């Protein structure tokens, strides 16, 4: 022990969140498990290997994390704990009244399964007592890890950072509002374990119980049909919040996730656009507990933009080439009619149609060239 005075009972910093600024000691977690520092293993000359490759935290994401962390017990996957196979990322924003019931349900299902796991509870700068409830839960449950945000980042930011810092090979996304069948999480994980051909399993909701149901149902149907047309895939549920996927497969796409609700749409389209097989499992959907954070007009607009953005990012020809060809065809047909009615006279509208189609088509080809020459995702 005297040869390594800097190695104490707490886990090494490099196994938590590798944030670039040196003053950030370990922003990944607040408290975990029931054991204290005294239960940690003695220091060893060589630092233990990390259980999973930690994705670096982007400086913009690091701003959400606390600068100083109190002493904590070893995390799952670090010395003193077995490596978890599953990490359940649970974003929480003002869910203090019912988040403990959700944790009870998740841990009961996972404890009765054959999987080792951790529940990564992310407090997204809640204004109620959510953080206090999560801190108490981390003392009462052995597999809870708490990550408090200094400022509100949105569900997409919480899921992105949570996936980056997950220790499990399989990452599960779900919500803390009592809407999803979280007791079926082990079933989703088993599909990925038993069938390596699938990289993501999504709980496809068979009912709609959200607010503004009269408007949400047709809007979601339209957006889903647009996504199916652009991806040439059947998508039973485009924006389900309950899903399990392989962490290593998802890492290249995390930087594409927006901060809001459309992050689940993004991860679906990213997998489908890159030929990753996605399996859909029918699930029920209950009325949420607490107050919904979904804003119909704003979030529906973002959903549509995100679908177009993602398809443009991976396959711009599917977005740009159809309107380009239609403009050219309509322009040529109009030119024929103009030629019959007024020989060798073409109105400006005819020329504009053909030129616009050629310009959009050229932009489509150029965009496709950029996509194909891109070395990364």
pLDDT, one tens digit per residue, over 178-202 is 899 999 999 999 999 999 999 999 9
Are residues 181 and 242 in contact, defined by beta-carbon separation less than 8 angstroms?
yes
Whether residue 55 sits in one domain with residue 110: yes
| 224 within domain boundaries | yes
Residues 347, 203, single domain; the answer is: no
99 closest CA partner among 283, 377, 289: 289
How much is the average pLDDT of 56-63? Answer: 66
Helices H, strands E: what count in the chain?
Answer: 11, 7
**What pLDDT, on a 0 to 100 scale, did the predictor assign at position 372?**
84
Give the residue, 345 or 355, on which the prediction is more confident. Answer: 355
Percent over 90 (pLDDT), the chain? 50
Cβ atoms of 278 and 253 closer than 8 Å: no
Using the structure block, give the residue that is written with the tokens 């679906």: 268
Q: What is the pLDDT of residue 247?
A: 97
Phi, psi (rounded to 5 degrees) for 303:
-60, -50
Distance CA 91, CA 261 (A): 11
Quote the tokens at residue 23: 């003053």
Q: Which residue range forms the structural domain that includes residue 341? A: 317-373
**Mean pLDDT across 313-336:** 93
Ranges 30-39, 88-97, 231-240, 321-330: which has the least confidence: 30-39
Domain membership flag for residue 5? no
- Worst-scoring range by mean pLDDT, 89-98, 208-217, 237-246? 208-217
Q: Examine the fold and report which residue of 291, 314, 337 is the final residue of a domain before the chain moves on.
A: 314
- Taking only the tens place, the pLDDT of each residue in 278-299 is 999 999 988 867 566 556 566 6
Q: What is the pLDDT of residue 278?
A: 96
Higher pLDDT, 60 or 7: 60
Q: Please indicate, yes or no, if residue 3 is contained in any of the structural domains.
A: no
pLDDT for 137:
94
Identify whether residues 255 and 211 lie together within a single domain.
yes
User: Does this model's pTM top 0.85?
Assistant: no
CATH for 58: 3.90.550.10
User: How confident is the model over 157-178, as pLDDT tens digits?
Assistant: 999 999 999 999 999 999 998 8
How many domains are contained in the chain? 2
Q: Mean of the per-residue pLDDT values for the chain?
A: 80
């Amino acid at each position: 022990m005297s040869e390594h005075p800097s190695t104490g009972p707490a886990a090494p910093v490099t196994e938590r969140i590798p944030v670039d600024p040196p003053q950030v000691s370990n922003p990944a977690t607040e408290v975990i498990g029931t054991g204290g520092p005294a239960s940690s293993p003695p220091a060893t000359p060589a630092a233990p290997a990390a259980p999973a490759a930690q994705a670096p935290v982007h400086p913009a994401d690091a701003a959400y994390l606390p600068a100083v962390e109190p002493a904590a017990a070893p995390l799952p996957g670090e010395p003193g704990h077995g490596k978890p196979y599953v990490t359940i990322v649970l974003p929480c924003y003002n869910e203090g009244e019912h988040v403990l019931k959700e944790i009870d349900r998740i841990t009961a299902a996972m404890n009765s399964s054959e999987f080792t796991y951790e529940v990564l509870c992310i407090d997204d700068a809640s204004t109620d007592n959510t953080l206090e409830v999560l801190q108490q839960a981390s003392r009462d449950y052995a597999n809870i890890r708490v990550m408090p945000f200094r400022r509100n980042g949105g569900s997409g930011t919480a899921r992105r950072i949570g996936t980056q810092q997950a220790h499990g090979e399989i990452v599960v996304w779900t919500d803390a509002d009592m809407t999803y069948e979280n007791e079926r999480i082990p079933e989703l994980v088993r599909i990925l374990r038993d069938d390596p051909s699938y990289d993501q399993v999504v709980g496809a909701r068979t009912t709609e119980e959200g607010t503004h149901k009269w408007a949400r149902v047709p809007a979601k149907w339209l957006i889903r049909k647009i996504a199916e047309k652009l991806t040439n895939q059947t998508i039973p549920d485009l924006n389900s919040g309950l899903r399990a996927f392989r962490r290593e497969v998802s890492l290249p796409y995390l930087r594409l996730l927006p901060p809001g609700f459309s992050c689940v749409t993004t991860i679906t389209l990213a997998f489908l656009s890159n030929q990753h097989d996605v399996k859909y499992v029918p699930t029920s959907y209950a009325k949420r507990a607490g107050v919904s954070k979904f804003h119909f007009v704003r979030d529906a607009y973002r959903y549509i933009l995100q679908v177009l953005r993602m398809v443009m990012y991976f396959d711009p020809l599917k977005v740009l080439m159809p309107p380009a060809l239609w403009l050219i065809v309509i322009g040529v047909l109009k030119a024929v009619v103009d030629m019959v009615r007024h020989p060798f006279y073409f109105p400006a509208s005819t020329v504009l149609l053909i030129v616009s189609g050629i310009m959009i088509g050229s932009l489509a080809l150029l965009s496709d060239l950029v996509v194909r020459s891109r070395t990364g995702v």
